[in-house]
Chains A and B, each alone.
Chain A
Amino acid sequence: MWLISLRDLEWRRRRFVIAVVATGLVFGITLLLSGMSSGFSNEVDRTVASFGADGWVVPKTASGPFTTSAAFPSSVANDVAQISGVHEASPMVLTRVTVPGSGGTPTDLVVFGTVIHGVGPRATTGRDPRRSGEIVTDTKLGRDVGQTVTIGGKRFTVVGTSDGRTVFAGEPTAVIPIQDARAISFADQPLATAVVTHGAPQGAPAGYRVLTTTQAAADLRRPLKSATGTISFLNVLLWIIAAGIIGSIVYLTVIERTRDFAVLKATGIASGALFLSLAIEAVVIALAAAIVATVIAVGLHSALPMRVEISTTSYGALAIIAVVVGILASLVGLRRAIGVDPALAFG
C-alpha cells in the first residue's frame, strides 16, 4: 500500500505541499510555544540552582523566598546556622527594581542582595561583588563588565555576569551585596527576606519554616502557572487544528478517489489495506510537516524576545505526535473509504 499512498501524494503534489506547509506552520507554533513553556520552567531551575542552596528558611506566613516581601531580622540567619544539618547560613534580600534599559525603556530587574562570600549565586563570567557598589547582572539586561547600572539612585559597577538566570518569564536578575539591598529596600535596617543554607536544616526557628530547593522552585514557578497552563491549552488546540488540516486533506482525497477505492475493493483489496493506505498518506504529511515545523522553530526561536528553549525531546515528541495526529486524521476518511460500494467500479 506504500506504492498507492506515495504515488497518490506525488500525483496530488500541490495539495500535498499546501497541507504540509499549513500543518508545518501549526506544528511550528506548537514547538515555539512548547519552547516558551520549557523556557519558563528552565529559567526557574537555573536561577534557583544558581544559589547552590540546600535549604530556604522563610517566615511561616510567607509563601516562599521569591514571591513574598515579608522581612524579618537578619539575625535569624545566626539561629539557622545553629540548626543541625546546616553548614552555612546567609541572609538574603530579594527586591524588584526598575532600571533604564536600552533605548531608555524601563527594564524590570529582580535583585538578590547576598552576603559577600556567603551562600548565593556566583557569576559565570567576571567575578562576584566584593564591596558595596558592585553588581553581577544577567546578560538579558544587556550590560557588560565595566558598565554601570543605577538602582535607587546608586550607581553600581558591573563586575560579573551570568546567563539564563531570569525569573517571571524573562526578567533578568542581578546580585549585589546585601547591605546595598538593605539600603534600597529597608533604609539600611538589618532585615532579610529569606535565609539560604548549605546543608539541609533539620528544623527551623519558631515562626519559620524550611523549604527544599524543589519547594523554592515551585514558589518561583507559581506566578507563571496560569501562563504555562494557557500555553498547554493552546498547544492542544493547535494539535487539533493540525489534525483537522490533515483530516480535511485525507477526506478530500477519499472523496476524489471514491472510484479508485471501489475498484480496489472490487479487485479484492481488503478494507484494512485501504486504511493502511490512507494512514500512510496522513502520516507522511504529518511527518513532512514536522520537518517544516522544525525548520521554522530553529529559524525563529532566537528571534523571539522571550527565551524559547526547545529540547531534543520536544523534537522527538513532535515526530511521535505527528504520527498519532496523522493516524487520527486518517480515521476521518476511513469510514467513508470502507463504506464505498465496490459496485461503483462498474460505473
Chain B
Amino acid sequence: MTDQQVGSTETTTTDPAVDASAARLEVRDLTIEYSSGGYTVRPIDKFQLDASGGELVLLLGASGCGKTTLLSVLAGILTPTAGSVRVGATQVIGLSGAALTEYRRKRVGIVFQAFNLLPSLTASENVQIPLRGTGVHARVARERALALLDRVGLAERVEHRPGDLSGGQQQRVAIARALAHDPPVILADEPTAHLDYLQVDSVIRLLRSLADGGRLVVVATHDDRLVPLADRLVNLTPRRETESRPPETSDLAAGQVLFEQGDAGELVYVVNSGTIDLVRTREDGTEELLVTVAPNGYFGELAPMFGLQRAATARAGSAAQVTGYTMRDFRAHHSGSVGDLLRGAVDATEGDV
C-alpha cells in the first residue's frame, strides 16, 4: 500500500460552515479480516492514513483490494479487526448505539456506487429523508433539500423520481443526500462507476468542489480520470516489483516461515534444496496443506504478477534453501510463456501464492 501526496492541497474556498478540525482523519494500524470460503482474508493490513479537511483523497486499487471495506470502516458500518480510526475528535472504532447512529448522521456523508436512491421518492424527498428521519421539520428539510439540489445543479429536477433521472443526475442527488447534515467528511464509493464520460465530468467537479469547501472527501475508485484532481493517492494494491534486482537467497530451518498468508508479494521463489510447504489458514485457525514444493519447483508467482497478497503461508518442510526473483527476472529465466506459468500454478494445486 502506498500513500502518495500529490502536491499541496489547493483549497480555493473554504466553507465557513465546515470545521477543518472536524474533518481531520487519522487511521492507525488498521487491520481488517473477514471470512471468505472458509478462509480468513485480510484485505487491509496495518493501514495508516492521515488526511485533513480540504483534501480529496483517492483510494486506488484493483477490485477486491479492500477499498470499499476501508470506506465501510470509515463510515462506522464495519468494525475492523484491529487499529483505530479518528474523525475529528471522535474515535470511531468502539462507537455503538446512539453514538454510532449520530456519527453516521452528522460526521460522514456516504455516496454509494449504485446511487442507492429510494425509487419511490422524488429527488427532493431522497435528500430530505436523512433530515426528516432525525426529526427535522418537513418544511425546513424541504428548504434544505432544494438548496442542496440547486447546489448540485438539479434545481429543475427536484420533483423527478430516480427512474426519470440520468445516472449522473442520480449520483448528484446522492451527493446532495450525503450533504444533508452538512458532514465534514464525505465518503464516495466508485462514484463514477456507472456513469458515461459526459456524466462523469459533473460528478468529478462536484466532488472536487466539496473538498475545496473545506471537507475531507475520500473516494474509493479505480477510475484514473480522478487522479489529476486528487490531493492524495492511496494505493491499496501491493506494489509490483517491475525492476530487476539481484536474486535473494534464503536458508530456512525446518518450520521456518518464508512469508505469511496476507503479506504483500514481491518475489517468485525457486526451491534450491529441501522442501517448502504451502499452507492456508482456515477460518477456525487450523491449517490446510496445499502443496509441498520440491527442489527446482517454484512458488509465489501470482502475487507479484497481479499485485495480490500472498494467499498462503510458505514454510520450510525441511531445512531448505530458496532463491527469490523479481517477476521480470523470473520470466527472463523461465522458458515457458505466462500461460505455462499459470498452468504450472494450477498444476501445483492452488500453489498460486
Contacts and interface: CB of A to CB of B under 8 A. Distances in A.
Are A and B interaction partners?
yes
B114 interface: yes
Interface string A1-44: 10110011011100000000000000000000000000000000
A264 interface: yes
B110 A347 contact: no
Interface string B77-110: 1100000000000000000001001111110011
Contacts of B39: none
6 contacts: A266-B75, A267-B110, A267-B177, A268-B130, A270-B133, A273-B133
Interface stretch (A76-84, A301-309, A338-346): A338-346
Interface of A: 1, 3-4, 7-8, 10-12, 259-260, 263-270, 273, 342-343, 345-347
A267 B105 contact: yes
A265 B120 CA distance: 17
A264 B134 CA distance: 11
Contact of B101 (A10, A270, A346, A347): A270
Given A11-B120, A345-B112, A346-B112, A269 B129 contact: yes
B101 A263 contact: no
B72 A10 contact: no
B78 A4 contact: no
A143 to B, nearest CB: 61
B106 A343 contact: no
A157 B119 CA distance: 74
Contacts of A267: 104-105, 109-110, 129-130, 133, 177-178
Nearest to A263: B116
Interface in B103-144: 103-106, 109-110, 112-114, 116, 118-121, 125, 128-130, 132-134, 138
B106 A346 contact: no
B301 interface: no
B189 interface: yes
Contacts of B118: 4, 7, 260, 263
A3 B133 CA distance: 10
B237 interface: no
B104 A345 contact: no
A342 B101 contact: no
Given A3-B132, A267-B130, A268-B104, A345 B125 contact: no
A10 B178 CA distance: 25
A342 B77 contact: yes
B68 interface: yes
A260 B121 CA distance: 11
A3 B121 contact: yes
B71 interface: yes
A10 B101 CA distance: 29
Contacts of B178: 267
A190 B345 CA distance: 115
B111 to A, nearest CB: 11
A260 B112 CA distance: 12
Given A267-B104, A343-B78, A345-B110, A3 B129 contact: yes
Given A1-B133, A263-B116, A346-B72, 13 more contacts: A3-B121, A12-B120, A259-B116, A264-B129, A264-B133, A267-B110, A267-B133, A268-B105, A273-B133, A343-B72, A345-B112, A346-B71, A347-B68
10 A-B pairs with least C-beta separation: A268-B105, A11-B120, A268-B104, A269-B133, A7-B120, A263-B116, A342-B77, A267-B130, A343-B77, A8-B120
Which of B104, B177, B189 has the largest count of A CB atoms less than 10 A from its CB? Answer: B104
Contacts of B103: 268
Given A342-B77, A343-B78, A11 B129 contact: no
A273 B105 CA distance: 14
A273 B134 CA distance: 9
A268 B133 contact: yes
Contacts of A269: 129-130, 133-134
Contacts of A8: 120
Contacts of B101: 268, 270
A343 B116 CA distance: 12
A259 B118 CA distance: 9
Contact of A10 (B120, B130, B132, B177): B120
Nearest to A8: B120
Nearest to B138: A3
A268 to B, nearest CB: 3
A10 B120 CA distance: 8
A346 B105 contact: no
Contacts of A264: 129, 133
